[in-house]
Structure 1
């Protein structure tokens, strides 16, 4: 089934100056001082506070300052709008490889093949809306069986888009998603939309109003030959495309060969943890790029840029190394959050950059019907990465067995990242003496053996211990510290099993009392 999502960003001219994530970077709720975007000295877009003060589109600069003297005035920046729209399109590539930019700050996503992957249209629209919110943009989201139909519904859901969107127009915010999943419901919705939504019809709005044609349903009932002679073929082509009567061709957004994204902050940030919102903005673009290129990243670098000019200094680099290649934004953001919480800034930050350092082809998901108990290997490595980011690499250790018979030195603990970087995670088992694999070993080995009391010539630990196995003799360490011990499995009165040994004193007489020690406990 062919299905399209339309995204219209009605406040793009304003959002590039005052994105929604700015409140997160400010450390809490941010008071709207009233932002206004001007084009040729007239109001093009305004924030909700400015709208509440009485500022309306088309108002001159003087009128704005008279109604709201403290308003923040910005000149429209088409270059920044195009850059922001490119960033949104790149982030949307995580949902589908077919994303197209259209006129009037609108994106079209062909998501027919993505519905099952993301759990249906409702779940997919919710994820798209959450991504847009994280990027800092407000948008009207629509869904339709045709691309131009989705475009029209998205434009109708924007403030001032149609008479049906009067509620959105009063609040200055886009309406909720407009979805028409079948052609019949799409035709009913399109029939109620105003003719002014079609760009080729706007030069002829006075004529349409004069003949009483205000809706697309009425427009379709007009004689086509006369309508083409007066308004041109482009109007009929767009109307037919919206109703699925004409094929549509698009120039799809192409992901660049390498990834490097940058974000200019709107204030001087002096606390590293407050940079997370801006970093998430960049990570979403990285996620879209990775999905489009079918790649996974092993190492990313977050560059925190400082003041320029005479007091300029090199950016502070924060590197995140992943134990396993990944491409999900949730995991990368968790790692950045932990690292930023422990990062000290040498100077305030005014900009952020994100680079993908090491890349690998994206590994397909496992085809196993029954996953391993406790989760997949990827889940385990993500947990280890999170622990390393939170506790530090020196506090997350992994056992590395040694080729030694002495229990105290038969194992050493090394950092997980160091062990995996050396490639010894799987080869370490080959270093064990082969005859140790069949010998019983306790699940809990004490760091230091405990000397046991003797009662009636029997070792005592809470209760008399009864030897329940044949001895295992260990004589090793002549090159450093000689050990001569006889190990036994002993059982207490509560049926708990202990690993004890009797120390053999070389050179002692036969009457010497043996010394017993507790060295481990069995599970």
Structure 2
């Protein structure tokens, strides 16, 4: 239609010029992102993406959960699409392109046949040259087309009509050319308008992360370090691109985790200038470990889950504010109890077995008062375990102590010690959680 006719029928319509490059970029982005669900992905008629998810149903928890995840992925790419599920790729394509069909999910073969029979013959592109002749003989639906004599139909149309029709109904096998992911990942989005807020940057970067996870899945790899480049003005007012580095403790290709980690980093970022383009570079990747499928999953989550939580905490609070225990092989508690940055790799010291240690140590032992021959700390403390003798550090001031576990009247437990040369003095050194 002409622009004047469109404005007359729909005054609120927004008209944009068709861009073939933008259209092909959207198809490529969707193809790359959907590779995280199945390697058997093909491009069909009218730029339709066909996915064979037979081998992926168990991994993603069934067809309905997989259907919702694919919807979420395309929504994250800022794309709207028509969906259909069927036993054959041709049947799913016909249902997806038929806009007036309310139910596009046909999981049973007989349901699919019933839905396809009511579609008009013009739904098949191979039938369009013969649509006028078919209408003149009263053949208006695919069900009626199937009732015609096959020999006469092939003689008056073409062999391709029967081949496409049989493939849609599952009577002949379908052969596709699967989409192959490129060897190198190159993610860049040129923005139509300048962006001045990190929330908008996160949405654009999320599109690149979805494509990256599809590329990683296709090559059976996982990422440990990403670099997000935010390009600013060019020309006389050119600025260096802003750089956001994402590092993960363990290799991952989970888009939800990478997106949450990115949002935490962008939350602390201040844009020095408007953003005109976003680029995502893969700094370090490695082979992905196989998915664990234990009969009895570990309670409290896997070690990978705990590492992901730690990564989010580090991104939110900063690396200088999160510390982790890094004990030293020494019998003296004040020496063995060392802390360091949580993101620093260290070799754990051997754990002393058969002894009880508290979670918190005082920076300096506290001298306790004694009442009726019992140590006192708000209330009388009763010894429940001990003594444990520690003799160490003779080269820098020997530590000669006897440690005890004591309990007050409310049930709180403390770690006390007495120095061997002053048996009458009690010191509080730690508190149990």
Asked if residue 331 in structure 1 is aligned to residue 257 in structure 2, the reply is yes
Quote how far apart the aligned CAs of 1:101 are. Answer: 0.4
Question: Is the Cα–Cα contact under 8 Å of residues 301 and 356 in structure 1 kept in the other structure?
Answer: yes
- Cα displacement (A) at 1:384: 0.7
Give the CA RMSD over aligned residues.
Answer: 2.6
Q: Does the CA contact (< 8 Å) of 1:141 and 1:176 recur in 2?
A: no
Equivalent of 2:362, from 446, 450, 453?
446
**For the Cα contact (< 8 Å) 2:389–2:400, is it kept in 1?**
no
Q: Which residue of structure 1 lines up, in the alignment, with residue 418 of structure 2?
A: 502
Alpha-carbon distance in structure 2 between the residues aligned to 1:124 and 1:402 = 48
Preserved contact between residue 141 and residue 177 of structure 1 (Cα < 8 Å): no
Secondary structure of the structure 2 residue equivalent to 1:142: coil
Which consecutive unaligned segments of at least 5 residues does structure 2 have? none
Q: TM-score, normalised on structure 2?
A: 0.91
Question: Structure 1 CA distance, aligned partners of 2:104 and 2:185?
Answer: 34
5 Å-filtered alignment, 1:482-493, equals 483=399, 485-493=401-409
Verify: 1:115 aligned to 2:32, yes or no.
no
User: Across the two proteins, how many residue pairs are aligned to each other?
Assistant: 432
CA distance in 2, matches of 1:367, 1:212: 57
Secondary structure, counterpart of 2:199 in structure 1: helix
Partner SS, residue 204 of structure 2: helix
* Matching of residue 470 in structure 1 with residue 387 in structure 2: yes
Residues 402 and 418, structure 2, Cα contact 8 Å, conserved in 1: yes
Please identify, of 309-318 and 454-463, the stretch whose mean Cα deviation from structure 2 is larger: 454-463
Q: Give the CA deviation at 1:281.
A: 1.1
Q: Which position in structure 1 is the counterpart of 2:215? A: 289
How has the CA–CA distance of structure 1 residues 73 and 464 changed in structure 2, closer, same or farther, with 3 Å as cutoff? closer
3-state SS in 2 of match to 1:325: strand
Alpha-carbon offset, residue 71 of structure 1: 6.2
Match of 1:220 among 146, 152, 155: 146
- Partner of 1:353 in structure 2? 279
Unpaired segments of 5 or more residues in structure 1? 1-58, 159-164, 166-174, 506-511
1:154 is paired with a residue whose SS is helix
Partner residue in 2 for 1:4: none
Alignment of 1:150 onto 2:70: no
Mapped contact 2:323–2:339 kept (Cα < 8 A): yes
Pair 1:320 & 2:246 matched? yes
Matched, 1:85 2:46: no
Quote the Cα distance in structure 1 between the aligned partners of 2:432 and 2:191.
58
User: How far apart are the structure 2 equivalents of 1:348 and 1:263?
Assistant: 15
- The residue number in structure 1 matching 2:297 is 371
Query: How far off its partner does 1:122 sit?
Result: 1.8
- Which of 135, 138, 150 is matched with 2:77 structurally? 135
Give the counterpart of 1:410 among 336, 346, 364.
336
Cα deviation, residue 320, structure 1 = 0.7
Measured in 2, the distance between the counterparts of 1:486 and 1:496 equals 20
For residue 430 of structure 2, what is the aligned residue in structure 1? Answer: 520
- Quickly say closer, same or farther: Cα 1:271–1:494, change in 2 above 3 A: closer
Q: 1:180 to 1:64 in 2, by over 3 A?
A: closer
Q: Shift in Å at residue 82 of structure 1?
A: 1.4
CA distance in 1, matches of 2:218, 2:388: 63
Report the more deviating stretch, 177-186 or 355-364: 177-186
Asked if the contact 2:225–2:284 (Cα under 8 Å) also holds between the matched residues in 1, the reply is yes
Tell me the distance in 2 between the aligned counterparts of 1:484 and 1:178: 79
The structure-2 alpha-carbon separation of the partners of 1:411 and 1:232, relative to structure 1 and needing over 3 Å to count, comes to same
Q: Show the counterpart of 2:181.
A: 255
- Between the aligned partners of 1:475 and 1:224, the Cα distance in structure 2 is 96
2: CA distance, partners of 1:82 / 1:198: 23
Alignment check: 8 A CA contact 2:329 2:349 kept: no
User: Are residues 182 and 367 of structure 1, via their aligned partners in 2, closer, same or farther at CA, if it must alter by over 3 Å?
Assistant: closer
2:118 counterpart (155, 179, 192):
192
